[in-house]
Copies of this chain bind each other. A is one copy, B any other.
């Protein structure tokens, strides 16, 4: 058992494979930050409690699982929060339609309520059996009281709850050995912090990335996009990022990576005008490189042996391929005012109508095979594009459709073609267990109610996106796609727009708080969006909550989906205040919370100083946030805002400030700014004590 860093342990069995998440993509371990985390300094699982054997199929790992432990994690799991008793296959697949473990971003990492984490360093389609089966003979020795005869499939298949101590079996195909990393607690959250710091620390997005995103209709041309961009500003709809969908390419699927000259004859001017209006521009693409691309011939030797959609599959595990791609993007796009990309289809699909992507048996020049590449492509793609922005010296906040292990440091947010709102919320809750960011984007809506409810979730998420790729006109004018295309708008569309505007403004007002939460992610590995169980691991009431979550340390969000007018909300220990009304709620209690269409249940932890900014239309480079500090409770804890230029990499050299907000009944509010950043992003304009007289 080798100590890798404070609270991080490694144990090797046999001869691990050459290509694994650690060898392919680990960013620098954050040793200093890890040192700050207390721990026992003892591996959470003893060597003697781990059994590993090699078979003709690969490597089998057996880890202990006590009967009172609950297991979470495995990446962006859409269909289940608590993974105890489940089989999870760590296999990248877009749009998984069943609860198998397949995901856009599966991760071979789990954490336990017993307060530790386990990472199996493999790019293989590993399968985790989380206490699914008792060993032979176990039931022979037990007096089991059998249940009633079932008369439905559910009863027959479901009544086999595990009894007694079990194990977690990990089936790693092909491997002849394995490295296992163990992360000490003492709590779930600390174990995850360690995993994130081991991964390089959480990403720090640019400030503008936390504003509103609007992705254009895929068939929109130059004038369409400029018309909308102008309209947003005129109509005071806050938007920071504009996204172009496949139609910007001269050829897509696969991609040419060059502008469609018919639709965008003056694309350079267009991008300039958008930049002048303080928009950031994001371009859709995927890796599959069409023969018409300028990169094609150069990439040919560094690509897989099979095509996808008539395009090459560049092997980003080769330096050459990554550099060709990165350099092309730098010179053609980033240097011309593009701030980010949407990296599509780096997953693969067994489940959608047309299965696609390269075979698992594909060979890549780097030595990876198709199976490994499927689980790594999203990560290698992010790394390639990250290097483009590193070279340019600016940050990006981008989108990606696949990710995986050790991804925390990448400023890329996941999205999916799935679209169940409740599933999207669960994705948000689960993403925090695995160093991932997830965007429950608004892509379409069955009704105005559905539209508003979805926006309400997205503004309380890492990336607030309206992806209007199938809508020529803004969806607040008409959510029905066909009518939108025909220009048949709601009679009351201005009311719908007004509701949207309020929500966009709400998002803008939360940016300083969100940015501080991301700074915690970056510096200490604390996920900005996370399950309640992560903050309240001793409270079994939180163990199954997959429909509400913490945003930062102080805000609990409980979204509503269309059709709901009230919902159950559990508030953990302490006292909570309604974000909208300041009503007081006692903790450790379940509530039925009713809400009209204007609001979703949001609660603020008592004794919090919460920064609410005057909403800007966008985060320009010189933007300053005017902040009202809401004072909840009589003895609020200090709150530290994080301040830097919000856009470049100078923070990596320590050019940033800690802006500490303090308040006491006797002395009132004070702002203490410490650090090397000379600018000012935040201006506290008021301190407002929240009413405490109302109680629920």
Residues of A within 8 A of B (CB): 17, 55-58, 60, 86-87, 89, 97-100, 127, 129, 132-140, 142, 144, 146, 149-154, 156-160, 169, 171, 173-174, 176, 217-219, 246-247, 251-253, 290-291, 296, 300, 303-312, 349-356, 358-362, 369, 371, 417, 469-470
Contact = CB atoms under 8 A, between A and B. Distances in A.
A582 to B, nearest CB: 42
B355 A86 contact: yes
B100 A351 contact: yes
A610 to B, nearest CB: 40
Given A157-B353, A306-B133, A353-B158, A149 B360 contact: no
A50 to B, nearest CB: 15
A169 B488 CA distance: 50
A51 B634 CA distance: 76
A67 B525 CA distance: 53
B146 A312 contact: no
9 contacts: A17-B56, A55-B361, A56-B174, A98-B98, A134-B306, A144-B291, A150-B218, A150-B246, A157-B356
Contacts of A58: 174
Given A350-B89, A359-B132, A146 B305 contact: no
A60 B99 CA distance: 29
Given A135-B307, A142-B310, 18 more contacts: A56-B174, A57-B174, A60-B361, A97-B98, A100-B355, A132-B356, A134-B306, A136-B303, A136-B306, A137-B307, A149-B246, A149-B247, A150-B218, A152-B470, A153-B352, A156-B252, A158-B354, A169-B361
A365 to B, nearest CB: 10
Number of copies: 2
A622 to B, nearest CB: 38
B151 A218 contact: yes
Task: Identify whether the interface residues of A are mostly helix, strand, loop, or mixed.
Answer: loop
Contacts of A135: 305-307
Nearest to A469: B151
A139 to B, nearest CB: 4
A304 B136 contact: yes
Contacts of A174: 56-58, 173
B151 A219 contact: yes
Residue of A98, A355, A361, A371 with highest tally of chain B CB at under 10 A: A361
A366 to B, nearest CB: 14
Nearest to A352: B157
A296 B139 CA distance: 11
Nearest to A89: B350
A102 to B, nearest CB: 9
Contacts of A57: 173-174, 360-361, 369, 371
B371 A305 contact: no
A136 B218 contact: no
A169 B359 contact: yes
A87 B359 contact: yes
A134 B353 contact: no
B305 A136 contact: yes
Contacts of A309: 160
A359 B677 CA distance: 56
A417 B247 CA distance: 44
A200 to B, nearest CB: 28
A417 B156 CA distance: 13
Contacts of A99: 355
A354 B149 CA distance: 17
Nearest to A417: B153
A606 to B, nearest CB: 39
Given A87-B359, A135-B306, A174-B57, A350 B300 contact: no
A134 B98 contact: no
A262 to B, nearest CB: 11
A480 to B, nearest CB: 15
Contacts of A134: 306-307, 310
A146 B353 CA distance: 21
A346 to B, nearest CB: 14
Contacts of A149: 218-219, 246-247, 252
B138 A307 contact: yes
Query: Considering the complex of A and B, which 10 residue pairs feature the smallest CB-CB distances, nearest first?
Result: A139-B310, A133-B306, A171-B361, A157-B354, A140-B291, A134-B307, A60-B361, A98-B351, A129-B359, A57-B174
Contacts of A136: 300, 303-307, 312
Contacts of A138: 307, 310
A204 to B, nearest CB: 33
A139 B356 contact: no
Contacts of A160: 253, 309-310, 354, 356
A221 B195 CA distance: 57
Given A151-B218, A173-B173, A246-B149, A350 B310 contact: no
A127 B99 CA distance: 21
Contacts of A362: 133
A5 to B, nearest CB: 30
Contacts of A219: 149, 151
A290 B138 CA distance: 11
A97 B356 CA distance: 18
A443 to B, nearest CB: 10
Contact of A156 (B158, B246, B300): B246
Nearest to A303: B136
